[in-house]
Amino acid sequence: MARYLDVHPHDPQPRSIRQTVEVLRGGGLIAYPTDSGYALGAALGDQHAKDRIREIRRLDDKHHYTLMCRDFAQLGQVVLVDNDIFRAIKAVTPGPYTFILRATKEVPRRLLHPRKKTVGVRIPQSRVVQALLTELGEPLLSSTLILPGESAPMTDGWEVKETLDHAVDLVLDAGECPDSPTTVVDCSGETPVVVRVGAGDPARFED
């Protein structure tokens, strides 16, 4: 049965954030609210938690996992960013965007796209997520909580608890969050390609 913690969306209680990070460091899988729906989260190096994400979402090996980063310092540790792409990303973050970029050697190979050696990254606006990332001190392995057969992410913490009570270890609830997933932009090639239009305005990355 999953633990359930209720936190304030703008000023999350430090004790609850610490307890959540303790679960992550202990190899646990969490469901947590972002600025674009709920997501599943695990420690970066945790293979078992990644497998649990795959099972819940029924993902294939071509799925791009996302690394939630607190800021550009963390982002620069996990992906390679040239100056033009850096400026474009910086102009729209923090915000509801996921960027696909070539990974650095800091990222475990099992998290990369098998052919492209890329990974998704984002810098979220959510204060709850920022608090988690600050306490954790490293990027958080993440995947939007879109259940098989659904097209939108889950948005209500208690509904997540009822649905995934035996599939995750902890549910963090900060009230209902937006139901639109991030806009996904593939920046791994010569020019950015908008892969999915979501909450973020894609105009900057379109011809």
What's the pLDDT tens digit per position in 116-141? 899 999 999 999 999 999 999 999 99
Q: Pick the closest to residue 94 from 48, 140, 129, 132 (CA basis).
A: 129
Lowest mean pLDDT among 21-25, 84-88, 125-129: 84-88
Residue holding tokens 């690394």?
67
Q: Report the percentage of the chain scoring pLDDT > 90.
A: 69
Q: How far apart are CA 177 and CA 154, in angstroms?
A: 9
The answer to whether the beta carbons of residues 39 and 144 sit under 8 Å apart is yes
pLDDT of residue 207: 67
Q: Is the pLDDT of residue 61 over 80?
A: no
94, two tokens: 């923090």
pTM of the model: 0.92
Quote the number of domains for the chain: 1
- Name the band, by pLDDT with cuts 50, 70 and 90, for residue 50: confident
Omega within 30 of 0 (cis) for the link into 153: no
In tens, the pLDDT along 159-207 reads: 999 999 999 999 999 988 888 888 999 999 888 999 999 888 998 888 6
Q: Is the pLDDT of residue 90 over 80?
A: yes
CATH number of the domain encompassing residue 13: 3.90.870.10
Cα distances (angstroms) measured from residue 197 to each of 97, 155, 189, 190, 194: 9, 18, 18, 20, 7
Q: 110 is in which domain, residue-wise? A: 3-205
Instruction: Spell out the residues 6+ positions from residue 115 whose beta carbon is closer than 8 angstroms to its own.
Output: none
Q: What is the mean pLDDT of the chain?
A: 92
Q: How far apart are CA 191 and CA 125, in angstroms?
A: 25
